[in-house]
Amino acid sequence: EPAFAPLSLKVGLKGRGEVIKFSGALKAASEKATLALEGSHDLGSGTGNARFQLGPVVFAPGVVQPQDFAPPLYRLLLETIGQVSSSARVAWGPEGMRHHTGAATLSIDKLRTGEATVEQAEAKIEFSSLFPPRTTGPQRIRIGRLDVGVPLTHGILLLDVKSPKQVDVDIERFELFGGLISSQKLSIDPTAQEFEAVLKVTDIDLASILAFAEFGELSATGTLEGVIPISYRNGELTVHDGLLRTGAKGGVLKYKPRALDKALEDANEGTGLAVKALSNFAYDEISIRINEIEAEDLRLDIKISGKSVELYGGLPFEFNIKVEGPIRQIIQENLAPPQLPPDVEDLIERSRRQ
């Protein structure tokens, strides 16, 4: 499979004395992307320069996709909506390349792979070197929503390309259920196709997490904090050995069963006692362990310890609850993604008509 789709190049030359000026265009994907170029070369001194300008290129289903330029991306990218533009300047002399810099501007409304979906992302990335690629320092990337099984929103990343084999990524922040996700700087080798990271979690709303267990009507006070280790290998992003805990002050949890749960309560004395205890429960600690057991399926091991306000003057209890299933899918169905802005929809529609 070729790395790139067929390209067409047209270049015009004009000469006066020893100076040759050139201009042209490199086109791809049925001319939906054009790289314009112009520059000059001095035959006497052996010096020259060139400027390049790409786009903006609009990506939309049925219009053009990144894999139309690089077919191997079909294995990675499922859908891309957005636009990208870039520019570059190069200069040379008898000794070779003197400098080569560039910049790229990305506005991604949606980028979907088999493991993650990125929405409403924006970045302007400046390169101090193109060969090999190297950024001018950490570059700020804003992401409206990153879905990796849980909905991370309002994200800020710092990206620093050191070399083709070292890219430093610093997760400044993402919001999740009212709290924040962050991480220490990660050094990733893109050629290795694998990495590991530990996400730090602070002030996650407990009630929002428990709502997805779908036991019945649940309300809770308090927040969670902890860590969620993730790993990426063989094209799959997984969660393993995550641990979230409530704060030292504890809180209150109230559970009201649904009709089916009420029938179970009446049929089993032990179950009925547990349901009554949780109807008004002053917890000392709640911990949640998170592991991915199969593709798209998560397991939550929930431990609740404290005292029942309703039973026997504060009888102590400890509950161990296991939840397994397509929790990622449940979250995705309960939190609808944002709609595209009207101006972006108009831009996509105009591109389809071209």
- Express each pLDDT in 229-245 by its tens digit: 988 887 677 889 999 99
* pLDDT one-digit tens code per residue, 314-331: 889 999 988 886 655 544
* pLDDT one-digit tens code per residue, 273-302: 888 888 899 999 999 999 988 766 788 899
Domain ranges of the chain: 1-113, 152-335
* pLDDT one-digit tens code per residue, 125-161: 999 999 999 999 999 999 999 987 678 999 999 999 9
Tell me the C-alpha distance between 342 and 109, whole Å: 12
Tell me the C-alpha distance between 171 and 202, whole Å: 14
pTM of the model: 0.77
Per mean pLDDT, which range of 178-192, 227-241, 270-284, 338-352 is the poorest? 338-352
* pLDDT one-digit tens code per residue, 98-126: 999 999 999 999 999 887 899 999 999 99
Per-residue b or e along 13-38, where b marks 16 or more CB atoms closer than 10 Å to that residue's CB: eeeeeeeeebbebbbbbeebbebebb
- Residue 327: the pLDDT is 52
Q: How confident is the model at residue 266 (pLDDT cuts 50, 70, 90)?
A: low
Of the two residues 180 and 324, the one the predictor is more confident about is: 180
